Structure 1
């Protein structure tokens, strides 16, 4: 372990906010590793590993209160080393993306995010596809929008190519380069080429000014990745199923097209057009804001205000500045910047990258849909990087949902009449009375499940060994193995009390009796958190899963 990337025990404990004994306990449990100091008798801790553990602890503290907001700009749901958005900055593999956008090409960013050399991408073999077939497809779909053309041609091309995505690192890189070039070629209706993508776009759109072509290059780099947005999460979910890269990227492209994601550029273009025709810009904005206040759906103004950048989107700031330096003399640049200034003065909202891309399309007189094309071609590089990372991870992304709807009181599912009869639970549903023989058998099953637990000497806090809650919890400890274990927990207080104190469980309120909640614990190491107290009692299930 390099000493420059290592911490002492005191430094690691301070970073985690724990004591030294707790730090040593983390090491003994395998949560943290250490290595001997070559210059002394002390142990050293990897700074990156400590930092990751500290972030997990912080997320875990918040999980019980904001779990329902995980999918809405909330707590991170997976780990990645590709992109960081923090403190108003965008970092690619630890490098400031705005500094990279000053000079780097999209292919160089691909090399950074894909963890290979730029030469490896430049020397990748040409797309193994018949030129005549591709030209015929382009002619057939020439009247379609860039998005529609790409959504059709990308899967069609995949059917003609070998499925070698998971056969090795070289095969993955070759496939990645082919996907990147095919998608760009489909969107600009051109033949796949190894030429830098910003030059292909400039040639197709007849942008001959070098500074203006440089704006296109910077836009591609600024759009290369943006952490776990909707389209990137879609790509990772598809990749986690073992699907081919072509299918994952096609799914990401479909997600990007939505009006609340990359399709926002179309709405910004419409806003710029309306504002340019308005005789009084201030009155126009006042009317738009008034419609929002009276219940209009959607954001206040498309292209303004990003939840992750309280001080303004750095991508928009960079691109608008570069555009102002090279705009044609008779361009509508003044109108675009005037709208941004008026919105800032009226609402305090700053332009986003969607506004900047739409401004580039309008000021440079690019074809309709050019803003979305810039977004999609640039973001493909990030999608592929996340697909590679997810492939290495190897796990299936399968979140759970909290059911809040109605359900019938029949069958063997949790909360049904049969299950509630097992535990003698009353509900609002009409149920047949339990016969004496049924009650007798139920008591025998419960006694059998907890038999022998009373002889164990170790007691739970606040409970005697004869307390039935202690016996039930001991039985749970015995049943808890590698498989998930389900408990029925009857609370004397509201179920919210359980959520606050048992953050690792997922609750589901049961109709019929207030204060009854179910918890499913995937990790048996958290079973010690179920130690009964005076606030609740635990009833074990005889048949665990």
Structure 2
């Protein structure tokens, strides 16, 4: 209660503004309005006076896609030089929470807790699809095959109720990490056990490297997954939302998004940075930095256009790795490259650099960073898919008169 006036529930506040609850939370994540947590830590309440003030102000969308459709989203936002997941600091979440908890927060603000395991038949289909491809096929292509195979055998794939979609999503992520073939000698020599080994990060570790799954190393992979879970309305997100707008099932939405990762903009530079670090380890950082500067006066994996003051996600992952790197010798090569590259000018490693530092020091293949991105971003794509299912169907089709269409929110 504020000044004797009762606070409004989420439904009441959304009705007062004439928007959907998802749009209401988008306003919260952007700092346009505040909310009060209920005693249970889950329910949200709003000050009616603040809502009335908000109603008198012009609204702007959270993101604008090139389709002419305005897409407000409460999933994530870049604000104050930081990434926020539904109003919470993404870097802090990734460092302190499991990837499963991050995904759950993006989907339902953490309620209910989900089990990231899948039916045996899903895992069997995933393994069959992933291993049927030739040995030299990229991890990303195996992931695509898994998504298509599991979607094909799921008899309930067309159940688009939110509670059903989240169960589907958790099962799909589990099928991906459990269906991909393990790395040679994965997990030999002991290592992490218990919750770390059973987590999504722990299971994915054995797919990507034969290095023993030490708890700190698996923790770094978990942080990377959390940091990569979402990044606003990107091209891959739009692809997922277009599929969801046509009321395609979640597997189709994720599949559509996965194909945008073949473009250089969506796939990032982690593979290039990984190969650069391999060269720096063998040829020396000075020689590699000098060659790159001679070629283009640019070093891959530095400076992000959306973070003028430096990518906080990159710093967060580098800090986690520095505390206890998977391989001390390779980490020294990373530090030498950073020190050489920074000579005489400020350079801020991006998340792509941090992921490459992880894959390089952990003995993963160069395309492992793209696979980590694909698994992680499933969480964000599903969150946006859930939002899109709540919108009017087929809203991305241009109207006959060419006028701009808006979200119902």
Which TM-score band (shorter chain)?
A: 0.7 to 0.9
1:81 to partner: Cα distance:
0.7
1:172 to partner: Cα distance:
1.7
Normalised by the length of structure 1, the TM-score is 0.57
Question: Which of 370, 373, 376 is the matching residue for 2:371?
Answer: 373
Q: Which residue of 1 aligns with 2:86?
A: 93
The SS at the match of 1:129 is helix
What's the Cα RMSD here?
Answer: 3.6
Aligned pairs for 1:240-389 (under 5 A) are 240-279=245-284, 281=286, 284-292=288-296, 300-327=298-325, 330-346=328-344, 348-389=346-387
| Structure 1: gaps (5+ residues) | 7-42, 60-66, 294-299, 401-482, 486-505, 507-519, 524-545
The SS at the match of 1:121 is coil
Q: Which residue of 2 aligns with 1:147?
A: 140
| Structure 2: gaps (5+ residues) | 9-46, 184-196
- Number of residue pairs aligned between Structure 1 and Structure 2: 350
Deviations 1:367-415 (A, max 9, x none): 4432222222111111110110111123435376xxxxxxxxxxxxxxx
Aligned equivalents of 2:55 and 2:212: distance in 1? Answer: 46
Of structures 1 and 2, the one with the larger relative CO (CA 8 A, separation 6+) is 2
The SS at the match of 1:393 is coil
Q: Which residue of 1 aligns with 2:14?
A: none
Is the contact made by 1:240 and 1:390 (CA closer than 8 Å) also made in structure 2? yes
Aligned pairs for 1:45-124 (under 5 A) are 45-47=49-51, 50=54, 53-56=57-60, 77-115=70-108, 117=110, 120-122=113-115
Normalised by the length of structure 2, the TM-score is 0.74
Is the contact made by 2:99 and 2:226 (CA closer than 8 Å) also made in structure 1? yes
Aligned equivalents of 1:521 and 1:328: distance in 2? Answer: 51
1:313 to partner: Cα distance:
0.9
1:91–1:131 CA distance, 2 compared to 1 (3 A) = closer
The SS at the match of 2:267 is coil
- The yes-or-no answer on 1:238 pairing with 2:230 is no
- The yes-or-no answer on 1:170 pairing with 2:163 is yes
Question: Which of 192, 212, 221 is the matching residue for 1:216?
Answer: 221
1:270 to partner: Cα distance:
1.9
Aligned equivalents of 1:348 and 1:116: distance in 2? Answer: 37
Deviations 1:163-222 (A, max 9, x none): 4444423322221222222233344559xxx94201212344343321111111111111
1:484 to partner: Cα distance:
7.7
1:336 to partner: Cα distance:
1.2
Q: Which residue of 2 aligns with 1:199?
A: 202
1:131 to partner: Cα distance:
5.5
The SS at the match of 2:83 is strand
1:339 to partner: Cα distance:
2.0
